[in-house]
Structure 1
Amino acid sequence: MSKLKIGVVISSTRDTRFGEKPAQWILDKANERPEIEAELIDLRDFDLPFFNEAASNLWMPSSDEHAVAWQKKIGEFDGFIFVVAEYNRSITGALKNALDQAYNEWNRKPFGIVGYGAVGAARAAEHLRGIGVELQMVSTRSAVHIGGGDFFAVHPLGQQNKPFSEIEGSIGPSAKDMLDQLVWWGNATKAARS
Structure 2
Amino acid sequence: MAGNLLRVAVIIGSTRAGRVCDAVAGWFTERARLRVGLAVEVVDLAGYAFPGCYPEEATPAMRRFASAIGGADAFVVVTPEYNRSFPASLKQAIDYAYDEWQAKPVGFVSYGSGTPGMYAVEQLRTVFGALHAVTMRDWVGIDLLGEGVRDTGRPYDTDSRLRAVAAMLDQLTWWGRALRDARHAQPYVS
Which stretches in structure 1 are left out of the alignment for 5+ residues? 55-61
The structural deviation recorded for 1:65 is 2.1
* 3-state SS of paired residue (1:84): strand
The counterpart of 1:183, out of the listed 173, 179, 183, is 173
The structural deviation recorded for 1:153 is 4.2
Which residue of 1 is the match for residue 155 of structure 2? 164
Contact 1:10–1:83 at 8 Å: present in 2 too? yes
Contact 2:106–2:135 at 8 Å: present in 1 too? yes
The counterpart of 1:83, out of the listed 78, 84, 90, is 78
The structural deviation recorded for 1:148 is 6.3
In structure 2, distance between residues paired with 1:181 and 1:4: 13
Contact 2:13–2:79 at 8 Å: present in 1 too? yes
In structure 2, distance between residues paired with 1:16 and 1:46: 17
The structural deviation recorded for 1:86 is 0.5
In structure 2, distance between residues paired with 1:63 and 1:141: 33
The structural deviation recorded for 1:183 is 0.3
* 3-state SS of paired residue (1:12): coil
Which stretches in structure 2 are left out of the alignment for 5+ residues? 185-190
Q: Is residue 2:31 matched to residue 1:35? A: no
Q: Is residue 2:56 matched to residue 1:66? A: no
CA displacement, residues 138-163 of structure 1 (integer Å, 9 cap, x when unaligned): 0010000112653x64253xxxx586
* 3-state SS of paired residue (2:39): strand
In structure 2, distance between residues paired with 1:180 and 1:122: 20
The structural deviation recorded for 1:26 is 1.1
In structure 1, distance between residues paired with 2:145 and 2:63: 41
**RMSD (CA atoms):** 1.8
Given the two structures, how large is their TM-score scaled by the length of structure 2? 0.88
Matches within 5 A, 1:100-111: 100-111=95-106
The counterpart of 1:147, out of the listed 138, 143, 146, is 143
How many residues were matched structurally?
181
Residue identity in the other structure for 1:171: R
Contact 2:27–2:154 at 8 Å: present in 1 too? no
In structure 1, distance between residues paired with 2:144 and 2:59: 41
Given the two structures, how large is their TM-score scaled by the length of structure 1? 0.87
Determine what percentage of the aligned residue pairs are the same residue: 34
Change (3 A) 1:73 1:51: farther
Which residue of 2 is the match for residue 15 of structure 1? 17
* 3-state SS of paired residue (1:120): coil
Q: Is residue 2:7 matched to residue 1:5? A: yes
Change (3 A) 1:43 1:163: closer
CA displacement, residues 68-87 of structure 1 (integer Å, 9 cap, x when unaligned): 11111111100110001001
Q: Is residue 2:91 matched to residue 1:96? A: yes
The counterpart of 2:121, out of the listed 119, 125, 134, is 125
